[in-house]
Amino acid sequence: MAIATLLPATTAFIQRAPRMLIGAEWVEAADGQTMPLRNPATGEQLCVVPRATVDDVDRAVLAARQAFDDSPWSRTRPRERQNLLWKLADLMQRDAELLAQLECLNNGKSAAVAQVMDVQLAIDFLRYMAGWATKIEGSSVEVSVPLMPDQQFHSFIRREAVGVVGAIVAWNFPLLLASWKLGPALATGCTVVLKPADETPLTALKLAELVQEAGYPDGVFNVVTGTGITAGAALTHNPRVDKLTFTGSTAVGKEIGKIAMDSMTRVTLELGGKSPTIVMADADLGSAAAGAASAIFFNQGQVCCAGSRLYVQRKHFDKVVADIAGIANAMKLGSGLDASVDMGPLISARQQERVWRYIEMGRESGATIACGGEQFGPGYFVKPTVIVDVDQQHSLVQEEIFGPVLVAIPFDDEADALRMANDSPYGLGASIWSNDLAAVHRMIPRIKSGSVWVNCHSALDPALPFGGYKMSGVGREMGYAAIEHYTELKSVLIKL
C-alpha cells in the first residue's frame, strides 16, 4: 500500500486554521463564527474555517469594487495581466503537491489523481487564459447613420472588462472550478469575490495566498468562506457585483438566475447533468466498457458531465453491462492518500445518504442491482453500482444522483438511442462509442448537449467551450467563449 506522506506544508496549512482574504487582510468572520471541515475518508474533523457573515461579503465586494474602479489594477496593461497569470500558474506548479493533498483531505479524491488532473488542468487553463489577455480585440465599423447624411463619422467597438465578478462554486473540483472563474476574470481585468463550496474551501484559500505572492494588487481576488444560504446569497444580492458566475446544482442555479435578472447582473450558470453514454453495436466493446466505467466512476461519480446513463445496442447489452460490473467489482475503495485506491469516499454523509436513497428507490421499484449497491464507513463510501431493468422515465434515469451509480438501458437502433439520450431535462455532455463514421456524424448534430465526445468521455481542453443545453445551464466556460462572458461591448461613434 503506497500511502502518501503529507508534506509539512500541508499539515501546517490545516493546523493554522486558515482565514479568509478580504482586500489585503486575512480575517476571521466579523462575528467570530467558524464552520468545521471534515475528512470524507474518515468523517473526522479536519479544521475549522470562518463562517462569513453578510457584512464580510459586503466588505469583500467593496474591496473588489475599489480595486476595479480606483486601483492600479484598473490601468494594468494586457501584457502585465498575461505575465501575472503566468506567474500565478508557475506558483501553482511549484505547490502542485500541496494543492493536491489539500484537495484530497478536504474532498476525499485521490491525491495522485488530483495532482495530474485537478491541479494540472487548473494550471494549464490559467496559462491558456494568460494568452488571451493580449488578444482581446474590438473592431472598427464603417457606419452610415441615416439620420445625419451630411456628416462624417469614425466608429469603433470596444470590448471592456465586465467589472466585479461574484463567483460561487461546487465541491466536486474545488480548485479547477475556481480557476475556470479566475482565469478569464484576471485575463480581462475584472476583480473577483470567490465563495467556495461550504465543504471545500481549502484550495481556494491556498490559491488566494498564491495570488498575493504573484503580486496582484489588493482586492483583485477575495475569498469568503461560508454557507450558501448566508455568504452565497449575500454575494448574489450585492448590487456592487457586475457579474455572477455559478457552478452548482440546477435548483440553486435557477434561484441565482432569477435574482440576477431582477438586477440585470450578468450571469453564467454551470449546472447539473445526466449525461448519456451511447454504445453502438459496431463499437470496440472492450474500450467502450472501460470508457463507460470511467465515465461514471471517476471522482466517485461526482462529475457534472459523468456518463450516468448508459445506452447499449441490444445485442451487446448484457456483455457490456457484465464487463462494467467486472470493472466495478475489481475497484479498490479507500483513502485518497493511498495511491493504489481506485475510488475514494463521497464528499459528505449527506451526499452518501442521497446516493443511498436512490439505490434503495431502485431496489424497491424492482430494478436489478448488477453490482455494488452497498455503503460502508467510517467515511462516506458507496460501492460502484450498476442498475438495470429500469424504465426510461424512472427517477434513477431522469434525476441527477451525483454518485457512483450507473443506470443501463438497451436500445434497438440509432433513432431509439437518440430519443432516449435526449429524453432528459439536462444537456451537458454525451458520448458516442462507434467506429461508423457516417452514423457518428448523423448523431452529433442531433444530440442536445453542450459537449459530444466520440470514443471518449469527459475529455476537456482549455480551448473548448464547456457548458450546458437545457437545465444544464446558461453560458460557457473555457475557450474564447469565456472571454466573451467576462466582457461587455461598447459602441463608440465620433462625429468628425
Count of residues that bind ligand NAD according to CB under 6 A: 31
Burial of 134 (0-12, 13-18, 19+ CB in 10 A): middle
- Minimum distance of ligand NAD from residue 322's CB (angstroms): 28
Q: Does 195 contact ligand NAD by CB under 6 A?
A: yes
Q: Please report the beta strands in 143-184, taking only residues with DSSP state E, as ranges in sequence order.
A: 153-161, 164-168
Q: Encode 353-395 in three state secondary structure.
A: HHHHHHHHHHHHCCCEEEECCCEECCCCEECCEEEECCCCCCH
Coil, strand or helix at 22: strand
Coil, strand or helix at 325: helix
- Minimum distance of ligand NAD from residue 244's CB (angstroms): 9
Q: Does 249 contact ligand NAD by CB under 6 A?
A: yes
Q: How far apart are CA 394 and CA 492, in angstroms?
A: 54
- Minimum distance of ligand NAD from residue 221's CB (angstroms): 17
Q: How far apart are CA 269 and CA 254, in angstroms?
A: 8
Q: Are 211 and 235 in contact (CB under 8 A)?
A: no
The catalytic position among 97, 103, 199, 270 is: 270
Inter-CA distances, 198 with 5, 49, 205, 227, Å = 26, 10, 13, 5
By DSSP bridging, strand 45-50 and strand 34-38 are antiparallel
By C-beta, is 76 or 225 nearer to ligand NAD? 225
Q: Does 270 contact ligand NAD by CB under 6 A?
A: yes
The catalytic position among 304, 305, 400, 414 is: 304
Q: Is 190 a catalytic residue?
A: no
Coil, strand or helix at 408: strand
Q: Pick from 216, 402, 433, 453: which binds ligand NAD (CB under 6 A)?
A: 402
Q: Pick from 90, 124, 255, 389: which binds ligand NAD (CB under 6 A)?
A: 255
Q: Pick from 185, 197, 292, 471: which binds ligand NAD (CB under 6 A)?
A: 197
Stretch that binds ligand NAD, among 10-18, 222-230, 308-316, 326-334 (CB under 6 A): 222-230
Stretch that binds ligand NAD, among 35-43, 97-105, 221-229, 326-334 (CB under 6 A): 221-229
Q: Taking each helix axis from N to C terminus, what angle separates 317-329 and 285-297, rounded to the nearest 10 degrees?
A: 50
Stretch that binds ligand NAD, among 229-237, 321-329, 358-366, 380-388 (CB under 6 A): 229-237
Q: Pick from 82, 110, 188, 236: which binds ligand NAD (CB under 6 A)?
A: 236
Using CB under 6 A as the criterion, what x/- string covers residues 150-189 for binding ligand NAD?
A: ------------------xxxxx----x------------
By C-beta, is 245 or 313 nearer to ligand NAD? 245
Q: Are 130 and 85 in contact (CB under 8 A)?
A: yes
Q: Which cell numbers in the block locate residue 80?
A: 502585465
Q: How many residues does the chain have?
A: 496
- Minimum distance of ligand NAD from residue 430's CB (angstroms): 14
Q: How far apart are CA 236 and CA 254, in angstroms?
A: 12
Stretch that binds ligand NAD, among 110-118, 130-138, 269-277, 386-394 (CB under 6 A): 269-277
By C-beta, is 125 or 411 nearer to ligand NAD? 125
By C-beta, is 176 or 310 nearer to ligand NAD? 176
- Minimum distance of ligand NAD from residue 227's CB (angstroms): 6
Q: Pick from 92, 186, 210, 233: which binds ligand NAD (CB under 6 A)?
A: 233
**Number of C-beta neighbours around residue 65 at 10 A:** 19
Q: How far apart are CA 312 and CA 314, in angstroms?
A: 6
Q: Does 194 contact ligand NAD by CB under 6 A?
A: no
Task: Give the CA dihedral 282, 287, 290, 295, nearest 10 degrees.
Answer: -80
Stretch that binds ligand NAD, among 8-16, 228-236, 335-343, 480-488 (CB under 6 A): 228-236
- Touching ligand NAD, residues 304-323 (CB under 6 A): 304
From 397, 461, 464, 459, select the one nearest 426 (Cα to Cα): 397
Catalytic residues: 270, 304
User: Site residues (CB under 6 A) for ligand NAD?
Assistant: 168-172, 177, 195, 197-198, 227-229, 232-233, 236, 247-249, 252, 255-256, 270-273, 304, 400, 402, 428, 468, 473
